[in-house]
Structure 1
Amino acid sequence: MEVGAVFQAAFALVVGLDPDFLGIVGLSLRVTLTAVAVAALVGLPLGAALALARFPGRSAIIVCLNALMGLPPVVAGLAVFLLLSRSGPLGPLGLLFTPTAMIIAQIILVLPIVIALTRQVIEDLWGEYRDHLRSVGLEGSRAIPTLLWDGRFSLATALLAGFGRASAEVGAVLIVGGNIAGYTRTMTTAITLETSKGDLPLALGLGIVLLSLTLAINAIAFGASRIGARYAG
């Protein structure tokens, strides 16, 4: 198939709202958004607590978190696979090769990013507003809600970074999800499979959607940072 015909067929899939195509896109968004939401619920308070706490070994934890921001997806996938496999500790739950397993793998990838970036944002805010917050009786855990709200625009950028990491991931979800058609096939795994099969229109159509999502994420992150800078000023 010529390149022009491939692009034409790919755009036809995108604008034609093909059910199989929409199913792949929908599953990808559901898995990624769920993983980011869970990572936010856990990571935002943990990152804020780490920013304010002082205890032995804190620096080592920060170094580990920063290192885990670059955790190879296949390593995360392998860890979840061993955890959920039939002989693993959570094997009886039967979660392997399900969307839930894919969500768990993406949470492992996104959580260090959310915690590490939140820690940096809250630590900077605490250094700037520490005296004022202490004067009104907000210190330690009591200051966390105020600092999280004040840093909401920067934290939104952190969450969008986590979304971008999860949405473009292929290795971990392929290991724990199995790329099962109609059940665990996401955009990234489908692109890999369809390219190897020679179904370039479907692979390219999914690539167009994925690229559009990436551009939208970066645009939203840029807008959030500009709004945050204006709000701070």
Structure 2
Amino acid sequence: MMEATRAAFVLLFSGDPALWQIIWVSLKTSSVGLAIATPLALLGGYALARGNFRGRRILIWLAQAALSVPTVLIGLLLYMMLTRRGPLGELQWLFAQPGIIAGQALIALPVLVALTLAAVQAADPRLAETAVTLGASRLRVMLTLLHEVRFGVMAAVINGFGRVISEVGCAMMVGGNIAGATRTITTAIALETSKGEFAQGIALGIVLIAIALAINAALMLLQGDARHQGQLR
């Protein structure tokens, strides 16, 4: 194990092209998938928090229940949609990066919706009432509220990124774990471990831990800024 760990650090600091290609694919697909999901989730979370329409409670229940759906199940459903005989087969996204990006967006969506919903519901209701009294449009009211709960929204985005970059089931099923194309950090770790070659797996695990630490550090900083601003008020 010590030898494998030493070899892992050598891979990291030697600039191994295969290793950094895997890291790049993970960061790219996760970031793009999150960027696609975020605007939709903000609109959805805000609508569920502020709306008053038939079926709202059911939609909230479904959004929260989606947090417990295994990513491998999302991968299975997406695989059936993208396979050659599926309804979206003509897109040719299966075993390609667009397929992984679609999966990451679907995985991030319920996380972002649920946390945005919670953040907007926790906002002071007088803020929206004041904005409406001053003649603000619906769009302006929404932007004002989202700005007020921006720390909660940022926390949602950070948690969404952590969720998508660390998942393995969907990326494996939809991406196919193809070297140089769709192999991500988590799928590569699974592959290397199954082969009994631990150096690259450990190296990628170190990167994943570093990303997780950076994400949580950013979240702690945001929460600290929020508390600081609250005390100033």
TM-score interval, smaller chain: over 0.9
Distance 2:224 2:17 in 1: 38
| Contact 1:73–1:169, Cα closer than 8 Å, also in 2 | yes
The one-letter amino acid of 2:144's match is T
Q: Per-residue displacement from partner, 1:62-101 (whole Å, max 9, x unpaired)?
A: 0110010122101100111011001101101211000110
**Letter paired with 2:206:** I
Q: Name the aligned partner's letter for residue 175 of structure 1.
A: M
Change (3 A) 1:124 1:138: farther
2:185 to 184, 187, 203: 187
Secondary structure in 2 matching 1:179: coil
Cα distance between partner residues in 1 of 2:154 and 2:85: 39
Whether 1:47 aligns to 2:50 is no
1:156 aligned to 140, 154, 157, which one? Answer: 154
Name 2:56's counterpart in structure 1: 58
Cα pair 1:52 1:140 within 8 Å, conserved? no
What is the letter of the counterpart of residue 81 of structure 2?
A: L
**One of 3, 6, 18 as aligned partner of 1:5:** 3
- Per-residue CA deviation, residues 103-147 of structure 1 (Å, 9 max, x unaligned), is 111111100111111111112215252332233223644311111
Deviation at 1:200, TM superposition (A): 0.5
SS of the residue corresponding to residue 69 of structure 1 reads helix
Q: Is the 8 A contact 1:23 1:182 kept in 2?
A: yes
Name the stretch that deviates more: 121-130 or 111-120. 121-130
What is residue 112 of structure 2 aligned with on the other side? 114
* Residues paired across the two proteins, number: 231
Partner residue of 2:144 out of 143, 146, 151: 146
Which residue in 2 is equivalent to 1:205?
A: 203
Task: Find the aligned partners of 2:49 and 2:134 in 1 and give their Cα distance.
Answer: 20
Counterpart of 2:176 in structure 1 is: 178
Q: Distance in 1 between matches of 2:37 and 2:228?
A: 27
Kept in 1: contact 2:128–2:145 (CA 8 A) = no
- The answer for unaligned runs of 5 or more in structure 2 is none
User: What percent identity do the matched residue pairs reach?
Assistant: 37
Give the alignment's Cα RMSD to 1 decimal: 1.3
Residue range with higher mean Cα deviation, 43-52 or 139-148: 139-148
TM-score (norm 1): 0.95
